[in-house]
Amino acid sequence: MVPLKYNVRSLGARWVGSLMTVLGTALVVWASTLAFGLVDGLNHTLAISGDPLDVICMRQGATSETNSVVDEAVARQVATLDRIATDSSGNPLWSPELVVIVNSPRRADDTKANVILRGVTPAARQLRPGFQIVEGVDAMPGVRQAIASRTMAKRFKNAGLGEDIDVLGNKFRVVGIFDAGQSATDSEVWTDLEVLAQASHRTAFLSSIQFRATDEAARDQLIDRISTDEQFALKAMTEQDYFAEQAAAGDAIKIIGYFIAIVLLVGAMFAVANTMFGAVASRAREIGTLRAIGFSRRTILVSFLLESLLLCLAGGLLGILGTLPLNGLSTGTANWSTFSELTFSFRFGAAVLIQALGLVVIMGLLGGLFPAIRATRLKIVDALREI
Amino acid sequence: MKFLPYIVKNIMRHKLRNVFTVLSIAVSLFLVTILYAYVSVQDELAAKSVQYNRVVVQHAQGLTFPVPLAYVDRVRSMPGVKAAVPLSWFGGKYKDDKIPFAQFATDPQTIMSVFTEYTVPPEQLSAWQNDRTGCIVGEKIARKRGWKVGDKIPLQGDIYPINLELTIDGIYDGPETADKEMLWYHYDYFDELLKKNRPIMAGNAGTIFVKVDSADRLSSMMRDIDDRFASSDAPVRSMTEQAFQQMFTQMLGNIRAYILNVSLAVVFSLVCVAGNAMAMSLRERTREVAVLKAIGFSRTTVLSLMLSEAMLVAMLGGALGVFGAKTLFDWTDLTVSGIPGFSTFYVPWSTIGLGLAVSAAVGLTAGAIPAWRAAQVSVVNGLRKVV
């Protein structure tokens, strides 16, 4: 094998050209990794929302809570069903919830988006994994107080501590900030169920019921029981399934992201091929010498492929490093199934890293393949004669 | 111009390298064109909608709150209003569709006087007006799904607990910027079903689209409408059709910034890549440049020869990419009905102009340093140089 040092030094000898190619591939990898990180962040948020034992019930035919209307009386019947888990003081872990959409201005640029204002009872807090108040106090039942997630407080005017959210002229004072571990709940503002129902003129109706089953068998049986019993006219599903269905919201971002990555990959491959053809052409005599002193064609092929890979890896690593400052940066997009904004964070985890490196390897190998083949085709005599 | 053959000959000397450079630029500009077209189409749609003098009335709290149907008649009676219709989003499920396409309950008698730029054959219009369960659909969605007049369209309610059985009575058409992927049906049919199944949801106009008689009157009209219902149970907020459309793109989040960033990265990457290729070509020709200067060509001429070569290669790639994108989207249609911001897509001429300008700029920037260096080489050193 030709020592790797030879390739490194060769790249260094033509450093301006190498640097240009490295910068070019770095930018391409940066843009693609950004897209991957966006998709991964969105998927992550939907994947971790909902405990495996949690069940959500909506009106039959409704695909999201925003579109669902459930009679309060029906909800209370559900609460009496067997095998619903209870908290330490023996109350069922059962939560009737009302979702109201409030069009609110974003803090950054004053553009507007729909925010979920959720009316809940204390039980809801136990049904959200990782839910905790991190600043201020929890909202009191029966008064117009609200708690906002840390993300929402930062992202929306009116949702910060001490600010007011307006629902049909009723002001809800934000008294606390909560954190729900990057789940979909982090895209919400919460208040008391009864107060919100009155303020939004939606008394006696709920959007959904959520509860926790005692175990998996109980969960499946309860889902079956509720979905088939016509007196409920409800659709029950695990929370995880509910959020998985919403993952379709990310499909557009996913398709666009992969489209960008593939197109850029093709473009970058041509650029790498150009650089490597240049390298082969200007080093004809060296290649001839290598062959003359006994390196085989295959060794030369591998050597040039490695050089191309090295070039792309340098660019790729630079590009990946460039996305790191954006790690955890929160962003949001419209989730059309709930007609509200879903916030999530850029996430550059292992999966994204593997995708980005895969891109780099394909770029290096395919881009370098034809120049490397050309290098092996050189006749020793001709190559040595080259000036 | 007389130098053109010289420039072309030089380009042809390194066919493979220049083909790769051209392809690399073509692929990247193909992507930039598509991304940027999205932004300009949104702008164009918003700008064009101004000329139709339409105002959209929605509930002050946002689209999820009902606007009483009685408001339609009250708006109609206001001075300056030419016509007004309810336009209520149904969001029903059609067969196995995951995302509902755009279906609106409206008033068939007046809708064409609000959307004056839309056309439908008179006999189809009157057939629809007399068919309570009839509907008309856009030319584009009909073509995509192979729908014909007389076809049955069953829609399963999601937001509303009712199912519709519609018959296509006609197909409407309109200018390029028109949304030709909607379905319009009788408001009366919709409301009657609601009264029967869930009276509390009946009588909701959703939004009211108002045609105002002159452009000067738009802003005072919006103020008048808002004032008129300000102290009622359901206050409203009116906005121009342009603002209404922007509301949806804003909900998607800061797509514009993302597109701009990716495009910039791609363009910078191209400058590096094309610059590298140009540098390689020129380095090999140092001696020729010296000969040119020795026989009397001025430094400026040499410089412009080099720059023209770089620009020609870049613009060839640019034209390929830009017109490739244009052709692709003239022939295929990737629009999705029902997702705001994705229901109309084409490549506007302004984007094509921009793409070509960008490719020229890439060529100029990429060629600048190598060409300047070539022009600086002294004749003696250049002639002596052994590449």
CA distance B115 to chain A (A): 26
Residue B152 counted as domain residue? yes
B333 residue type, one letter: D
Q: For the ranges A113-117, A309-313, B158-162, which has the lowest average pLDDT?
A: B158-162
B66 and B17 assigned to the same domain: no
Angstrom distance (rounded) from CA B62 to CA A116: 12
Phi, psi for B243 (deg, rounded to 5): -65, -35
Question: Residue A215 burial (CB < 10 Å; 0-12/13-18/19+)?
Answer: exposed
Residue B234 counted as domain residue? no
**Can you tell me the mean pLDDT for B33-55?**
86
Nearest CB neighbour to B273, from listed A102, A271, A387:
A271
- For all residues of chain A together, what is the average pLDDT? 90
pLDDT score at A135? 95
Nearest CB neighbour to A102, from listed B61, B233, B387:
B61
Q: How many domains does chain B have?
A: 2
Contact B31 A334 (CB under 8 A): no
B23 and B160 assigned to the same domain: no
- Please give the distance of CA B103 from its chain centroid, rounded to a whole number: 21
Q: What is the pLDDT of residues A49-76, one digit of tens each?
A: 888 999 999 988 888 888 888 988 898 8
Q: For the ranges A176-180, B95-99, B241-245, B323-327, which has the lowest average pLDDT?
A: B95-99
**Can you tell me the mean pLDDT for B326-345?**
75
DSSP state string for B226-282 = HHHTTTSSS-EEEEEHHHHHHHHHHHT-SHHHHHHHHHHHHHHHHHHHHHHHHHHHH
Q: 284-313 in B: which are within 8 Å (CB) of A?
A: none
Contact A27 B247 (CB under 8 A): no
Nearest CB neighbour to A23, from listed B20, B65, B272:
B272
The residue of A102, A165, A196, A263 whose CB has the most chain B CBs within 10 angstroms, and thus the best one to mutate to test that interface, is A263
CA dihedral A101, A105, A109, A113 (to 10 degrees): 10
Contact A263 B277 (CB under 8 A): no
User: Please, which residues bridge with residue B138 across strands?
Assistant: B172
B203 and B287 assigned to the same domain: no
Q: Interior CA angle at B268 toward B10 and A8, to 5°?
A: 75
**Does residue B387 register a pLDDT over 60?**
no
**Does residue B12 register a pLDDT over 90?**
no
B281 and B363 assigned to the same domain: yes
Nearest CB neighbour to B31, from listed A27, A66, A260:
A260
Q: 3-state DSSP call for residue B113?
A: helix
Question: Residue A366 burial (CB < 10 Å; 0-12/13-18/19+)?
Answer: middle
pLDDT score at B340? 64
**Can you tell me the mean pLDDT for B170-179?**
89
pLDDT score at B350? 92
**Chain B residues closer than 8 Å to A334 by CB:** 248, 251-253, 340
pLDDT score at A61? 81
pLDDT score at A349? 87
Q: 221-250 in B: which are within 8 Å (CB) of A?
A: 233, 235, 247-248, 250
Chain A and chain B share a number of CB contacts under 8 A equal to: 162
Residue B320 counted as domain residue? yes
Q: For the ranges A118-122, B43-47, B238-242, which has the lowest average pLDDT?
A: B43-47
Q: For the ranges A160-169, A345-354, B85-94, B258-267, which has the lowest average pLDDT?
A: B258-267
pLDDT score at A32? 92
In A, minimum Cα distance to B34 occurs at A260
**Chain A residues closer than 8 Å to B262 by CB:** 31, 34-35, 260
Residue B194 counted as domain residue? yes
Q: What is the CA radius of gyration of chain B?
A: 29
Token pair 């189409």: residue: B41
pLDDT class of B306 with cuts at 50, 70, 90: confident
Residue B312 counted as domain residue? yes
Mapping DSSP onto H, E and C, the string for A191-203 reads: EEHHHHHHHCCCC
CA distance A252 to chain B (A): 10
Q: For the ranges A137-141, A173-177, B215-219, B235-239, which has the lowest average pLDDT?
A: B215-219
Contact A334 B253 (CB under 8 A): yes
pLDDT score at A337? 79
- Given B163, B191, B213, which residue is the final one in a domain? B213
B317 and B294 assigned to the same domain: yes
B58 and B193 assigned to the same domain: yes
**Can you tell me the mean pLDDT for B287-311?**
87
B206 and B112 assigned to the same domain: yes
Pairing mode of beta strands B102-106, B81-89: antiparallel
Nearest CB neighbour to B20, from listed A63, A100, A270:
A270
Q: 3-state DSSP call for residue A349?
A: coil
Phi, psi for B238 (deg, rounded to 5): -100, 150
* Contact present, A337 and A245 (Cβ < 8 Å): yes
Angstrom distance (rounded) from CA B183 to CA B90: 10
* Contact present, B324 and A263 (Cβ < 8 Å): no
**Chain B residues closer than 8 Å to A114 by CB:** 62-64, 251
CA distance A301 to chain B (A): 20
Contact B63 A103 (CB under 8 A): yes
Q: What is the pLDDT of residues B261-281, one digit of tens each?
A: 888 888 888 888 888 888 888
pLDDT class of B338 with cuts at 50, 70, 90: low
Strand segments, DSSP code E, in chain A are 54-59, 70-71, 94-105, 112-120, 132-136, 145-149, 164-167, 170-179, 188-192, 205-206, 208-212, 234-238, 330-335, 340-345
* Contact present, A92 and A127 (Cβ < 8 Å): no
Taking the Cβ of residue B31 and every Cβ of chain A, the question of whether any pair is shorter than 8 Å is answered with yes
B380 and B262 assigned to the same domain: yes
In A, minimum Cα distance to B244 occurs at A112
Angstrom distance (rounded) from CA A147 to CA B166: 45
- Given B194, B213, B232, which residue is the final one in a domain? B213
Contact B156 A263 (CB under 8 A): no
pLDDT class of B246 with cuts at 50, 70, 90: confident
Nearest CB neighbour to B251, from listed A16, A100, A334:
A334
A53 residue type, one letter: L
- Structure token pair of residue B201: 């949801």
Strand segments, DSSP code E, in A248-288 are none
**Does residue B212 register a pLDDT over 80?**
yes
Pairing mode of beta strands A170-179, B182-186: unpaired
Contact B24 A268 (CB under 8 A): yes
**Does residue B359 register a pLDDT over 70?**
yes
Taking the Cβ of residue B335 and every Cβ of chain A, the question of whether any pair is shorter than 8 Å is answered with no
Closest by CA position to B240, among listed B213, B210, B262 = B210
**Which range of residues forms the domain containing residue B142?**
54-213
Angstrom distance (rounded) from CA A223 to CA A210: 11
A247 residue type, one letter: A
Pairing mode of beta strands B134-138, B182-186: antiparallel
**Chain A residues closer than 8 Å to B250 by CB:** 111-113
Q: For the ranges A92-101, A123-132, A242-251, which has the lowest average pLDDT?
A: A242-251
Nearest CB neighbour to A274, from listed B17, B158, B201:
B17
CA distance A170 to chain B (A): 11
CA distance B329 to chain A (A): 15
Question: Who contacts A276 (Cβ-Cβ below 8 Å, separation ≥6)?
Answer: A304, A307, A308, A311, A367, A368, A371, A372
In B, minimum Cα distance to A249 occurs at B99
Residue B67 counted as domain residue? yes
Q: What is the CA radius of gyration of chain A?
A: 29
**Chain A residues closer than 8 Å to B269 by CB:** 23-28, 267-268, 271
**Chain A residues closer than 8 Å to B30 by CB:** 263
pLDDT class of B1 with cuts at 50, 70, 90: low
Token pair 């018959």: residue: B167
Nearest CB neighbour to A24, from listed B61, B93, B272:
B272
Contact B273 A100 (CB under 8 A): no
DSSP class of A84: B
Q: What is the pLDDT of residues B177-209, one digit of tens each?
A: 788 889 999 999 999 999 998 888 899 999 999
- For all residues of chain B together, what is the average pLDDT? 89
pLDDT score at A387? 60
